[in-house]
């Protein structure tokens, strides 16, 4: 095959054209879902002790409202309480706000207004412990969680709460779904494009995203009669493409597939090329463009069509 060296695009097109003329199309895609990992971590949720940039806890999360532990700055329940010399308590974060406000900060409690001595600000561990021991509702109560837990156990509960919203475990592979933990298995079994499934014809494990494409080419997957006679489950003829290694003859690249002859891709092209499917990963452009496979502007593709499995003439 001769090709124009001046234009990469053209090369790719020529190659695709040749390969895709053989290709195949859609079938129903059967699969089974494989096992789930055991520990599924929640991604959100602030541990109760952390306070950086956060003011107090919302009063509404507490079963019995601790109205005597309200921070005068944020009006919420004290988080990491700090006590000033005057005795008044504030969230750690709220004390920082007081200090930033003025060169000579004073206690903002209306009846107090005492000057704040920065060296006299202390963590109030007793009050912190009291608050962490209070009963709260799970933050996923609106989703249906009826659990009542100690505030200090919130983050560990969230790690296992079935109603917590978590990222799909295949987020890194590209699934952006957020699901309640109790629905994750269903999501993986039916929706997630990235969960591993097994091709029912060859037992190869692959992601659901790739399954359809795989079944089109799976040598074990049967096809229907192209003449519409109704006969199904016909084994496929085998097409093998070999890109010849012109340097040493040792690194031929080959890919085998069994096209579906009823597919609209399996015919003489009527436009520039047929629907581009089939061997999309046959060879990468960067590998192709090495002297191994292209020499003097020429590459060779050997096409082997094996019809020995076919019924009839």
Ligand X SMILES: *[C@@H]1O[C@H](CO)[C@@H](O)[C@H](O)[C@H]1NC(C)=O
* Binding stretches for ligand X (CB under 6 A): 202-203, 220, 244, 249-250, 252, 296, 302
Other C-beta atoms closer than 10 Å to the C-beta of 65 total: 13
Q: How far is the CB of 251 from ligand X (least distance, A)?
A: 7
Q: How far is the CB of 171 from ligand X (least distance, A)?
A: 30
Which neighbouring-strand residues pair with 242? 254, 302
Q: How many CA atoms lie within 13 A of 120 on its CB side?
A: 13
Q: How far is the CB of 262 from ligand X (least distance, A)?
A: 23
Contacts of residue 290, defined as CB under 8 A and 6 or more positions apart, other chains included, come to: none
In the complex with ligand X, which residue's Cβ is closer, 5 or 50?
Answer: 5
CA 207-208-211 angle, 5° bins: 90
Q: What whole-number distance in Å separates Cα of residue 161 and Cα of residue 40? A: 10
In the complex with ligand X, which residue's Cβ is closer, 21 or 198?
Answer: 198
In the complex with ligand X, which residue's Cβ is closer, 68 or 250?
Answer: 250
Other C-beta atoms closer than 10 Å to the C-beta of 169 total: 19
In the complex with ligand X, which residue's Cβ is closer, 146 or 205?
Answer: 205
Q: How far is the CB of 61 from ligand X (least distance, A)?
A: 49
In the complex with ligand X, which residue's Cβ is closer, 1 or 122?
Answer: 1
Q: How far is the CB of 14 from ligand X (least distance, A)?
A: 17
Report yes or no: 234 and 224 within 8 Å, Cβ to Cβ.
Answer: yes
Q: How far is the CB of 190 from ligand X (least distance, A)?
A: 21
Report yes or no: 64 and 134 within 8 Å, Cβ to Cβ.
Answer: yes
CA 43-44-50 angle, 5° bins: 115
In the complex with ligand X, which residue's Cβ is closer, 240 or 307?
Answer: 240
Report yes or no: 236 and 48 within 8 Å, Cβ to Cβ.
Answer: no
């Amino acid at each position: 095959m001769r090709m124009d060296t001046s234009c990469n695009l053209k090369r790719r097109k020529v190659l695709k054209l040749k390969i895709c003329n053989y290709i195949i199309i859609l079938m129903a895609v059967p699969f089974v879902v494989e096992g789930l990992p055991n520990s599924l971590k929640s991604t959100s949720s602030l541990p109760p002790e952390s306070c950086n940039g956060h003011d107090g806890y919302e009063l509404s999360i507490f079963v019995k409202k601790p109205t005597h532990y309200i921070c005068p700055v944020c009006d919420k329940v004290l988080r990491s309480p700090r006590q000033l010399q005057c005795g008044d308590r504030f969230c750690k974060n709220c004390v920082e706000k007081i200090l930033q406000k003025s060169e000579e900060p004073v206690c903002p409690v209306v009846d107090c207004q005492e000057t704040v001595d920065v060296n006299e600000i202390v963590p109030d561990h007793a009050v912190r412990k009291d608050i962490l021991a209070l009963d709260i509702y799970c933050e996923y109560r609106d989703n249906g969680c009826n659990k009542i837990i100690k505030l200090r156990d919130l983050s560990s509960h969230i790690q296992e709460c079935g109603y917590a919203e978590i990222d799909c475990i295949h987020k890194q592979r590209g699934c952006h779904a957020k699901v309640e933990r109790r629905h994750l298995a269903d999501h993986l079994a039916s929706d997630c494009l990235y969960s591993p499934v097994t091709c029912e014809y060859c037992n190869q494990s692959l992601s659901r995203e790739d399954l359809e494409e795989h079944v089109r080419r799976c040598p074990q997957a049967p096809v229907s009669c192209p003449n519409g006679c109704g006969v199904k489950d016909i084994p496929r003829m085998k097409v093998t493409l070999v890109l010849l290694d012109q340097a040493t003859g040792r690194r031929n690249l080959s890919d085998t597939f069994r096209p579906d002859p009823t597919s609209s891709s399996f015919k003489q092209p009527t436009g520039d090329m047929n629907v581009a499917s089939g061997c999309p990963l046959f060879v990468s452009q960067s590998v192709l463009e090495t002297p191994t496979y292209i020499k003097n502007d020429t590459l060779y593709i050997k096409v082997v069509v094996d019809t020995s499995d076919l019924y009839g003439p």
